[in-house]
């Protein structure tokens, strides 16, 4: 591979606190050789590829901590190839794949399959997560040590929550010795039983059973109490309510160490968007009030929330063309994560460097991977964006196998122009 | 695709009766005025009209129902429509067919009107997006039961002359009740003052945002009321986490002569049925012909449903 010079770019690398006009050199092994204003336009050797970025923004490839792939078991919803295409068009170069497949990822033999399929069929980096408990049943813990050694990056029951406090406390106790990353989807099953949307005026009007904010808060409070005793690496997958933010702030003030994520859906939409039973907005955690949404945005801005995820959950149309109660939960979103996040920048709610950090540097740091930065020697996973380009979300142009976008026809500003993975141009907008 | 676009245009004109929400005041007046005309007809010896002759009405009941289903069936027949009631227990739906597929199948038979009851809130809305005929909601989940509210309004008008200015108390399991929701919307639109009375555990979140005063004490909630609407308390809610026991419920929320004393002395008692005597209502009160209008509600129900069928079928 020839050396590549990406020149004349606005480089934003939150890890190294860089926001400057400059260039980036990719060496013949696909790694970053140099980056920043010192890489200038002049005197380039003729033997290299020169790519003029034309003052557009260049950031590290996005790291998405919560993505559902259909393999194995739900290939008709999404496979590694379609996921890879979708992710690349959204500037996402690394994903953590959720273990809620069929069968679930709860033993070492499944890991080889995932790694092989991920390598052969996709161009992005797949970091597989395994379940916390066998068959995600919340009873018996999985082999954290062995799975981690095989290449499992994090442990989560994905769409499920470990309900039994005894099991959870033991998981946190046991995982602390291998420093395995525990990611909890926080929702109390009993309080949220049969719940469909946020509990409030909208649920009363639509006659849908509500999910109270307490269902989330109570699990976060419980787990943070365990964290006083068992110092494991603990991450709350996504939160949805203002009340949970208060709990997190308080715990952080007390000196507890843990991290928190939020879905881009909860930052960009609220319960009113459900309108006349729009099943594409049936999500978990549910969309909550506008107050909650604003509080979440502010929490990203002030650093209470560390990570923004797409919570990409492809669902085939058939499973959404049902009554609200019967319809499947989740929304496709890996390709619109960045443009939706940029909305928060354009609305002057979150500074761009903070925003980029929440989808690159911060998740990489939590996961302990050398991604999400433009360090010398890192793989050249890079995303080039026109932050101002206006466009409209068109369902027919979605690359994911499932088209269940919750933001159809939304006017967005900001589009990915180029995505590089390990120095190779893997996607280019036409 | 063309068909779907056409359907969207239909939806804007609100040619379906999906709920009281979405009806205009003039539509409500039209239904009630029309229903008044049918009251006399239903008492006469020759009850049959031919307004809907040649029209096909399908009753699609996913939940068991006696009075609503037979009321709709009678209403259709009295207007001369061909009425077919689908027996869901033996149908393809039990074999895993989705609501939309069922709708498409029925749609191919060119019905003029589909009356649907479904356990899921919003099911009639979904159906209305997929069929070419008028859809009438006969109760969906805990969302709406518009014809029940309309027949309640007609009963009140029949007894009290008007709804405007009355104080109406709706008592009981508001949380799970579609009847309560539809009545709250309708009685508010017609200018009544609406109280809801229930234990906290049976009140939906933010119910006050629907324009009602909330009470957990019957004697305060019934104070000076002109109409007392009791709701059915389902057996499974009596034990467990909603309420400690039927006994406790009856003591504090059952309608008894003593509690009724605080209401207006000419107050009428209503109930959408079926009743649990001795649980939500004293058995003698339920049968008190001077106060209870429960049987009249059933009678006027047919007239209201005839009016709805006529109006929504005609417009289509």
According to DSSP, the β-strands at B227-230 and B167-171 are parallel
Task: Please compute the mean of the pLDDT values over residues A242-262 and round it to a whole number.
Answer: 97
Q: Is the pLDDT of residue A242 over 60?
A: yes
Answer whether residue A272 is part of any domain. Answer: yes
Which residue is closest to A194 within chain B, CA to CA? Answer: B120
* Dist CA A12 CA A35 (whole Å): 10
Which residue is closest to B126 within chain A, CA to CA? Answer: A323
According to DSSP, the β-strands at A424-428 and B56-61 are unpaired
Amino acid B9: pLDDT: 40
Assigned token pair, B222? 């019934």
**Cβ–Cβ below 8 Å for B210 and A208:** no
Query: Is the pTM here over 0.80, yes or no?
Result: yes
* Dist CA A212 CA A206 (whole Å): 15
The mean pLDDT of chain B is: 91
Per-residue pLDDT reduced to its tens digit, A4-17: 999 999 999 999 99
Q: Chain B interface, mutation test: which of A200, A203, A205, most B Cβ atoms within 10 Å?
A: A205
Tell me how many degrees the CA angle A180-A185-A186 measures, rounded to the nearest 5. Answer: 115
Q: Is the pLDDT of residue B181 over 70?
A: yes
The mean pLDDT of chain A is: 96
Q: What is the domain count for chain A?
A: 1
> Nearest Cβ partner of A203 from B126, B144, B205?
B205
Answer whether residue A421 is part of any domain. Answer: no
Answer whether residue A320 is part of any domain. Answer: yes
Per-residue pLDDT reduced to its tens digit, B268-282: 999 998 999 999 999
Interface of B with A in 180-199 (CB under 8 A): 181
Interface of B with A in 256-315 (CB under 8 A): none
Q: Chain A interface, mutation test: which of B149, B179, B205, B208, most A Cβ atoms within 10 Å?
A: B205
Beta carbons of A129 and A99 less than 8 angstroms apart: yes
* Dist CA A340 CA A410 (whole Å): 10
Per-residue pLDDT reduced to its tens digit, B164-180: 999 999 999 999 999 99
* Dihedral of alpha carbons B145, B146, B150, B153, sign: positive
Q: Collect all residues of chain A within an 8 Å Cβ-Cβ radius of residue B99.
A: 322-323
Q: Is the pLDDT of residue A180 over 50?
A: yes
Q: For residue B81, give the nearest of B46, B56, B60 by alpha carbon.
A: B56
Q: How many CB atoms lie within 10 A of CB A15?
A: 18
Amino acid A228: pLDDT: 94
Q: Is the pLDDT of residue B8 over 60?
A: no
Answer whether residue A413 is part of any domain. Answer: no
**Cβ–Cβ below 8 Å for B206 and A200:** yes
Determine which helix (DSSP H) or strand (DSSP E) holds B72, and give its type and residue range: helix B67-78
Interface of B with A in 97-156 (CB under 8 A): 98-100, 118-123, 125-126, 140-144
Rg (CA), chain B: 20
pLDDT band at residue B93 using 50, 70 and 90 as cut-offs = low
End-to-end CA distance of chain B: give it in Å, rounded: 20
Answer whether residue A347 is part of any domain. Answer: yes
**Cβ–Cβ below 8 Å for A326 and B21:** no
**Tokens 């606190």 -> residue:** A17
Answer whether residue A357 is part of any domain. Answer: yes
Q: Is the pLDDT of residue A289 over 70?
A: yes
Domain residues for A317? 61-367
**Cβ–Cβ below 8 Å for A322 and B98:** yes
Answer whether residue A377 is part of any domain. Answer: no
**Cβ–Cβ below 8 Å for B121 and A206:** yes
- DSSP tag of A186: -
ipTM of the complex: 0.91
Active site residue A194: no
Amino acid A48: pLDDT: 84
A128 min Cα distance to partner chain B (Å)? 34
Answer whether residue A20 is part of any domain. Answer: no
Coil, helix or strand for A289? coil
* Dihedral of alpha carbons B210, B212, B213, B214, sign: negative
Q: Is the pLDDT of residue B6 over 50?
A: no
pLDDT band at residue B94 using 50, 70 and 90 as cut-offs = low
Task: Please compute the mean of the pLDDT values over residues A227-242 and round it to a whole number.
Answer: 96
CB contact, 8 Å: B223 with chain A?
Answer: no
Beta carbons of A240 and A288 less than 8 angstroms apart: yes
Per-residue pLDDT reduced to its tens digit, A26-57: 999 999 999 999 887 776 777 788 999 999 99
- Which one of the listed residues A106, A292, A311, A379 is annotated catalytic? A311
Which residue is closest to B103 within chain A, CA to CA? Answer: A322
Which residue is closest to B185 within chain A, CA to CA? Answer: A205
B211 min Cα distance to partner chain A (Å)? 11
Which residue is closest to B175 within chain A, CA to CA? Answer: A204
Assigned token pair, A204? 């009363």
pLDDT band at residue B234 using 50, 70 and 90 as cut-offs = confident
Per-residue pLDDT reduced to its tens digit, A357-404: 999 999 999 999 999 999 999 999 999 999 999 999 999 999 999 999
Coil, helix or strand for A407? coil
CATH code for the domain of A65:
3.20.20.140
Q: Is the pLDDT of residue B237 over 90?
A: no
* Dist CA A244 CA A241 (whole Å): 5
């Amino acid at each position: 591979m020839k050396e590549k010079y990406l020149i004349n770019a606005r480089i934003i690398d939150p890890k190294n606190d860089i926001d400057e006009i400059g260039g980036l050199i990719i060496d013949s092994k696909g790694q970053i050789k140099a980056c920043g204003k010192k890489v200038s336009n002049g005197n380039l050797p003729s033997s290299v590829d020169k790519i003029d970025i034309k003052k557009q923004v260049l950031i590290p490839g996005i790291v998405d901590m919560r993505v559902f792939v259909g393999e194995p078991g739900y290939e008709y919803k999404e496979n590694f190839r379609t996921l890879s295409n979708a992710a690349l068009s959204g500037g996402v170069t690394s994903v953590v794949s959720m273990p809620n497949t069929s069968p679930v990822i709860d033993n070492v033999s499944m890991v080889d399959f995932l790694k092989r399929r991920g390598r052969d069929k996709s161009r992005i980096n797949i970091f597989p997560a395994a379940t916390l408990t066998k068959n995600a049943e919340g009873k018996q813990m999985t082999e954290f040590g062995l799975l981690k050694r095989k290449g499992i990056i994090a442990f989560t029951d994905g769409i499920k929550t470990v309900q039994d406090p005894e099991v959870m406390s033991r998981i946190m106790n046991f995982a602390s010795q291998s420093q395995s990353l525990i990611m909890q989807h926080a929702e109390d099953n009993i309080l949220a039983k049969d719940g469909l949307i946020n509990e409030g005026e909208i649920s009363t009007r639509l006659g849908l059973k509500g999910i109270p904010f307490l269902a989330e808060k109570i699990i976060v409070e419980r787990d943070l109490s365990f964290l006083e005793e068992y110092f494991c690496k603990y991450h709350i997958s996504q939160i949805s309510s203002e009340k949970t933010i208060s709990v997190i702030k308080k715990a952080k003030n007390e000196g507890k160490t843990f991290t928190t994520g939020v879905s881009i859906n909860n930052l960009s939409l609220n319960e009113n968007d459900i309108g006349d039973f729009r099943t594409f907005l049936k999500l978990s955690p549910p969309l909550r009030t506008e107050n909650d949404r604003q509080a979440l945005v502010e929490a990203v801005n002030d650093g209470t929330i560390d990570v923004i995820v797409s919570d990409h959950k492809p669902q085939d149309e058939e499973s959404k063309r049902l009554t609200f109660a019967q319809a499947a939960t989740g929304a496709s979103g890996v390709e619109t994560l960045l443009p939706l996040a940029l909305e928060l920048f354009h609305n002057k709610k979150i500074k761009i460097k903070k925003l980029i950090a929440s989808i690159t540097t911060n998740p990489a740091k939590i996961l302990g991977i050398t991604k999400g930065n433009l360090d010398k020697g890192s793989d050249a996973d890079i995303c080039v964006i026109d932050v101002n380009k206006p466009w409209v979300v068109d369902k027919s142009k979605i690359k994911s196998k499932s088209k269940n976008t919750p933001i159809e026809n939304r006017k967005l500003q900001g589009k990915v122009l180029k995505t590089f993975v390990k120095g190779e141009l893997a996607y280019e907008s036409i | 695709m063309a068909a779907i676009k056409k359907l969207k245009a239909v939806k804007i004109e609100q040619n379906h009766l999906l709920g009281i929400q979405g009806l205009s005041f003039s539509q409500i007046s039209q239904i009630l005025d029309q229903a008044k005309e049918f009251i006399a007809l239903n008492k006469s010896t020759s009850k049959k009209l031919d307004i809907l002759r040649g029209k096909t009405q399908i009753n699609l009941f996913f939940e068991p129902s006696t009075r609503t289903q037979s009321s709709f069936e009678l209403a259709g027949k009295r207007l001369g429509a061909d009425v077919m009631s689908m027996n869901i227990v033996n149908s393809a739906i039990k074999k895993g067919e989705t609501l939309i597929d069922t709708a498409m199948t029925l749609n191919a038979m060119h019905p003029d009107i589909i009356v649907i009851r479904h356990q899921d809130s919003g099911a009639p809305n979904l159906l209305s997006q997929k069929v070419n005929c008028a859809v009438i909601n006969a109760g969906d989940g805990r969302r709406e039961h518009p014809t029940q509210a309309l027949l309640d309004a007609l009963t009140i008008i029949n007894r009290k002359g008007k709804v405007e200015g009355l104080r109406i108390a709706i008592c009981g399991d508001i949380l799970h009740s579609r009847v309560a929701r539809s009545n709250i919307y309708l009685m508010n639109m017609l200018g009544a003052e609406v109280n809801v009375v229930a234990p906290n555990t049976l009140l939906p979140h933010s119910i006050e945002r629907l324009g009602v005063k909330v009470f957990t004490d019957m004697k305060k909630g019934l104070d000076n009321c002109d109409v007392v609407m009791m709701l059915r308390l389902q057996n499974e809610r009596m034990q467990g986490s909603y309420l400690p026991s039927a006994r406790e419920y009856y003591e504090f929320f059952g309608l008894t002569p003593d509690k009724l004393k605080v209401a207006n002395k000419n107050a009428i008692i209503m109930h959408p049925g079926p009743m649990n005597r001795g649980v939500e209502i004293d058995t003698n009160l339920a049968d008190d012909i001077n106060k209870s209008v429960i049987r009249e509600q059933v009678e006027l129900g047919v007239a209201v449903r005839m009016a709805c069928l006529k109006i929504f079928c005609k417009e289509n």
